[in-house]
Structure 1
Amino acid sequence: MKFGETFKEYVHEDEGNKLSYVEYKSLKKVLKRCSACNTLKSSNECCSFCDQTFFPELKKEASDVAGCFSSRVRRLLRLHMAPGVQQYFISLRHCFVDDQQAMARECQMLMQYAVMNTTAMRKILKKYDKIHGSVKGRNFKSTISAEHLEILQSPWLIELGAFYLNFNASNGKSSRELFSSFPCDFDATEFTLTLTLPENIKLEYSLKCAVCLDFVFNPYALGCGHLFCKSCACRAASVMLCDGLKAASKESKCPICRQVGVYTNVVHMVELDLLLKRRFRKLWKERLVSDRAEALKQSRLFWELQTRYVVGF
């Protein structure tokens, strides 16, 4: 079966989930309507009709898909990490609804959603380049990646992988049957998380902080997607631990890619932190003591400076 038919069936089956999708069929029609494409190949001219219709539409759909994916993952993780009273009501609801299976199905659905939309986007861009005899589709893919609209580069995908491992650890062998099509592995020696997705997609994420060269403790993902310990990211942005990364200036740069403005929409990787806490209990506690001592030291220094400023010496 061709991918177009497979994707159409997938969207039809998933209609009840109210998700955004890449409009694969309509974008293909845009390419077919461009009758001048074949004559433009030899002259290397730009097909303005396709460019003005195709790329803006695809960019909007990529943004909608990325936003939909992140919001659904956040909702799933809030349910899994619900504290206190919320957890009590969730436990009561177990009498009527199997929340564990529901969360497992939601996780699988989101992984399939990421794969299908990513594949649809790649295939339609490849088709654009084939019809127009250009590399504009490839360049557009790089643009989408630079603007962080590529789902496979999303930190929420890492959180979903950590959720999978945490969920299995909490619910035993029976839960693994629910994730049979979603293998995920964690290498404790190399600090890597590996996701094996359908369509032969294998993703490997390093969980080592580029600043301290240890596993990411209290991990945060910057807007560019790079992971750091909170303390290391705060040090790089020249802000205090107690103030947090949101206090960083817009000019602060990522220590790896040097991109500015990446501290505005940081993501606290709660599921990943829980995974590392379980795998490295002793080291995690040592890092916690160290971070608290550093936060206390910074707080004391701050108030000493404030006192000297007020007193005048």
Structure 2
Amino acid sequence: MKFGCLFTEYLQEERELLDEKCAHIEYVRLKKVLKSCQTCKPLHSSSSSSSPSLVSDLPNHQLCQCQSCPVCDQKFFSELMKEASDIVGFFGSRVKHLLDLHVASGMQRYVLRLRQCFKNDRQALAQEGRILIEYIAMNAIAMRKILKKYDKVHSSVNGKNFKSKMHTEHIELLHTPWLIELGAFYLNSSGRDCCELNGVYGHFKCDLNVSDAVMTLILPDSIKLEYNLTCAICLDLVFNPYALGCGHIFCKSCACSAASVMMFQGLKAASPESKCPICREDGVYPKKVRMLELGLLMKRRYQSVSWSHFISYVNIAITITRKFPRYNDYWKERLLSERNNMVKQSKEYWNMHNHNSLTL
């Protein structure tokens, strides 16, 4: 089955499972725009007059050499940019709501479940997570194929350049931190370091490799994503992780230090002009995302590991021993260290504040 038919079938089912007004890539309509492109009219006429053949079978001199098309560009890239932004926003809001139900505790969890009429059990949460994974994966595949089709028809690289622009504006579908959170959610739900899910439109797999500090997501259409879980500041595994607006993940203490704010004040006290320590982009702190599921995953992984797990894996045990002395107590040590630093910073802050008050 061609992807256009598969995507149309998916959209029909999507309206029943998700909100009918949820955004998606207008793959079929944009493909028709390419076929009706006036600058590529000689291409279409030559391909239709001959036996049915693909555009790639035609000689290079018959391809559209305009490199860009005013008609296609106006309808293509502006609409794709808006659709991608809407998809990322919808996906983030739905994943956030899903994870709020999963990580909520006490009265908050009771109120949230009461609001949903007690239907959000573990199986229902996993089902919604699968739906969201298919949603972001199918739209990402549609985006990739339509941009590839544009470059093929116009013999240009504008589609690739548009991908770079999406990455710069942080609306690339598969590079949202909420996808990492969704992967961590599945690992937390399964209680293992690897989980697999067979969906209607493809296969999903999430794997955590602690020794290499990498989380791997394998999505439908053989899309493989690897996320480095090492903080670029302390060069250790992320602890109490936060993702900035640019997508880079840091420990909370490291992100606070980079923004020159106290830990007890939190990242909300960071200046809007504060820059990411890696890409040096400003304005990324107001768009931060607290990675609760990823933090829970790392906590569970540390607390559940014992040396008996590594008896038959000597090489892995040696690697982890060198990187994390006293591996069983690693989580407690980092938690205690962060709390001590927070108390120390708060004391220094208030002592300085009181000293300034007395001076005045």
Q: TM-score, normalised by structure 1?
A: 0.91
Tell me the equivalent position of 1:47: 69
Task: Determine the C-alpha separation between the residues in 2 that align with 1:260 and 1:176.
Answer: 37
- Give me the whole-angstrom Cα distance separating, in 1, the residues matched to 2:115 and 2:37: 55
2:230 is the alignment partner of 1:205: no
Residues paired across the two proteins, number: 310
1:310 maps to what in 2?
357
Give the deviation of 1:42 after TM superposition.
6.2
Question: Is the 1:168–1:176 Cα contact (8 Å) retained in structure 2?
Answer: no
Q: TM-score, normalised by structure 2?
A: 0.80
Give the AA of the match of 1:200: S
CA distance in 2 between partners of 1:213 and 1:153 (Å): 22
How many Å apart are 1:123 and its aligned residue?
0.6
Match for residue 338 of structure 2 among 264, 268, 291? 291
The answer for the alignment partner of 2:306 in structure 1 is none
Q: Please tell me the residue identity of whatever aligns with 2:165.
A: T
Aligned partner letter, 2:240:
N
After superposition, the Cα gap between the structure-2 partners of 1:203 and 1:255, relative to the gap in structure 1 and judged at 3 Å, is: same
Residue ranges of structure 2 left out of the alignment (5+ in a row): 44-62, 304-328
2:33 to 30, 33, 38: 30
Distance 2:83 2:120 in 1: 33
The alpha-carbon deviation at position 87 of structure 1 amounts to 3.4
- Cα distance, 1:283 vs. partner? 1.4
Matches within 5 A, 1:173-252: 181-252=203-274
Give SS of 2:264's match.
coil
| Local SS of the residue matching 1:182 | strand
Distance 1:97 1:156 in 2: 23
Could you tell me how far 1:217 is from its partner in structure 2?
0.6
Name the CA distance, whole Å, in 1 between partners of 2:130 and 2:185. 11
Alignment of 1:68-83 (within 5 A): 68-83=90-105
Superposition map of 1:133-144 within 5 A: 133-144=155-166
Contact map agreement 1:223 1:264 (CA 8 A) in 2: yes
Which residue identity is paired with 1:75? H
Query: What are the superposed Cα offsets for residues 235-257 of structure 1, whole Å, 9 maximum, x if unpaired?
Result: 11111111111221222111111
CA separation of 1:149 and 1:95: change in aligned 2, threshold 3 A: closer
After superposition, the C-alpha distances for 1:46-76 in whole angstroms (9 at most, x for unaligned) are: 4211112211111110011111110110011
Note the alpha carbon deviations across 1:122-172, whole angstroms, 9 max, x for none: 1111111111111111101110111111121111011001100111129xx
TM-fit CA distance, 1:181: 3.6
Structure 1 residues 24, 73: CA separation in 2 closer, same or farther (over 3 Å shift)?
A: same
RMSD, aligned α-carbons = 2.6
The DSSP-based 3-state class of the residue aligned with 1:126 is helix
Instruction: Report the CA distance shift for 1:47/1:96 in structure 2 as closer, same or farther (over 3 A).
Output: closer
Bigger Rg over Cα: 2
CA apart distance, 1:265: 0.6
Tell which deviates more after alignment, 274-283 or 38-47: 38-47
CA distance in 2, matches of 1:259, 1:24: 32
Q: 1:220 to 1:98 in 2, by over 3 A?
A: closer
Shift of the alpha carbon at 1:177? 7.1
Tell me, in whole angstroms, the C-alpha distance in 1 between the residues paired with 2:275 and 2:233. 13
Cα 1:237–1:124, aligned 2, differ >3 Å: closer, same or farther?
same
Task: Quote the sequence identity (%).
Answer: 55
**What residue in structure 2 maps to residue 13 of structure 1?**
13
1:216 match: secondary structure = coil
User: 1:234, 1:244 within 8 Å by CA — same for their partners in 2?
Assistant: yes
**Is 1:117 paired with 2:139?**
yes
Q: Which amino acid aligns with 1:294?
A: N
Distance of 2:253 and 2:196 partners within structure 1 = 35
